[in-house]
Amino acid sequence: MSDLMRIGANIEALKSFNSLMQVNDKMSIHQLRLATGKRINSAGEDPAGYALARSLESRKKGLSVALDNVSNAKNVLNVAEGGYQNIMDILQTCKEKATQAADGSLSSTQVSALNSQVQALITEIDDIASGTTFNGYSLIGATPHGFTFHTGEGASDTLAVTLDAADSASLAISSVNLTSNAAGAITTFDTAIDNLSGSVQEVGQFKARLDTKESNLSVAITNTEAVRSKIEDADFAQEQMEVMKLMILQQTALSSFVQSNSDPQIVLSLFR
């Protein structure tokens, strides 16, 4: 016997109602995805995908901070290089003065004047060396501070940097005296210039390594975000198509429910 003849329970209407509720539930999921831009809005929707997305998000944040650290490290090295370059300019001037003082045509008074200039320049070298700092840390002073920059997301991704001191004592020019040995001073300044050139070269090598790390980190951040987006973010075209399909199903399910809900009224025809 047809279920239409039983009015205690309208089975067909219940089936249509359940179908309508399922369509509404699916539609709410897709509408939420369109509203948030994410395919996964809770762990229940895709537990494995949610966990993987969070892991990738954590990695991306770590890489982003590491990229900032690399930029900060380059700033530190730029400050140190600026100090070195200023000292290099002074050393070149000192060598010029020593070469001039070594000329036997100069009087002792003139040599003494040149020596005074050189001593003042050496004092300036010490001032520059002690004043070249970053966050209160000495970079090229008598006792340079050693830095350990964190340049990656892992605990061991570090770059240790300790620069050479560039004060007069470290450059071995503190005892230079043009009045007593101008020719020897030329050699002393040549050696100091060569040593300082090596220190500047070392800074350049560190900066080159940091440039490489910066490039690698930028690529890693982009790729990590691409993978996370593929897993977690919504495809708007696909979601919109699903919503349109569910809207049609919603209308047909509602129509079917209304029809099924009114079907038991046929029983009344038996009493006419």
Axis-axis angle for helices 108-131, 47-101 (nearest 10): 170
Residue type, 16: S
Q: Encode pLDDT of 107-118 as tens digits.
A: 999 999 999 999
Residues of the chain with pLDDT under 70: 1-10, 261-272
State residue 235's pLDDT score. Answer: 84
State residue 192's pLDDT score. Answer: 97
DSSP H or E run through 136: none
258 and 125 within one domain: no
State residue 2's pLDDT score. Answer: 52
Domain-located, residue 225: yes
125 and 102 within one domain: yes
178 and 113 within one domain: yes
Domain-located, residue 271: no
Say which residues have a Cβ less than 8 Å from residue 96's Cβ, sequence separation at least 6.
none
122 and 14 within one domain: no
State residue 68's pLDDT score. Answer: 96
* 120 within 8 A of 132, measured Cβ to Cβ: no
State residue 62's pLDDT score. Answer: 94
Give the range of the structural domain holding residue 33, as residue numbers without chain letter: 10-37+234-262
CATH number (domain holding residue 159): 1.20.1330.10
State residue 254's pLDDT score. Answer: 80
Say which residues have a Cβ less than 8 Å from residue 251's Cβ, sequence separation at least 6.
none
